[in-house]
Amino acid sequence: MARQSSEAKFTVNAAFFHEIKEDHQQLKSMLDKLRQMVSNPLVLANHLKEFSQRTAELRDQLAFHFTLEEAYGYFEDAIERAPRFHDQAGRLRDQHSDLYLMAEQVAESAASASDHPVDAEQTAERLSGLFIGFDTVLKAHESAELRLILDAMQLDVGVGD
């Protein structure tokens, strides 16, 4: 199909947008619950099984989240419109596997700890630190993705018009 003009337009598939929105809401809800749990390691020590279940669910949701972004070409519109974002988008996409592995490590550590608790308070402190480290990296990643998309959209929409 031939383009009518040389300008690229930012298009959003409504079904994809809806699915991404639901995914982000689900992911945010999961992360909020886990953040609340790790905010008090003494409470976490009494809820290691629940933490284990929630981190396993988070790991699975992240797999879905990253698959959505990659399968639907989440960054392709941005890159097509502004090739200068190509390297940045590639780095962000490459981070998905590392983030998934980090989430898997948190989930596996939580499962092991909940099955064989030795010192619940010390275990909770360790799991809390492991999750917070993962969460910090994930927040930075998601923020960088959002900046990339907004920068690319700004080129299409323009500013100060």
Contact in structure between 34 and 131 (CB atoms under 8 Å): yes
For 10-54, the pLDDT digits (tens) are: 455 566 667 878 998 999 999 999 999 999 988 999 999 999 999
For 72-103, the pLDDT digits (tens) are: 666 666 567 667 777 888 899 999 999 999 99
Q: What is the reported pTM?
A: 0.81
Q: How is the chain split into domains, by residue range? A: 38-156
- Give the 3-state secondary structure percentages of the chain, helix then strand then coil, rounded to 5: 80, 0, 20
Q: What is the pLDDT, as a whole number, of residue 77?
A: 62
Could you tell me which residue, 119 or 9, shows the higher pLDDT? 119
Two tokens, residue 121: 């308070």
For 118-157, the pLDDT digits (tens) are: 788 999 999 999 999 999 999 999 999 888 878 877 765 4
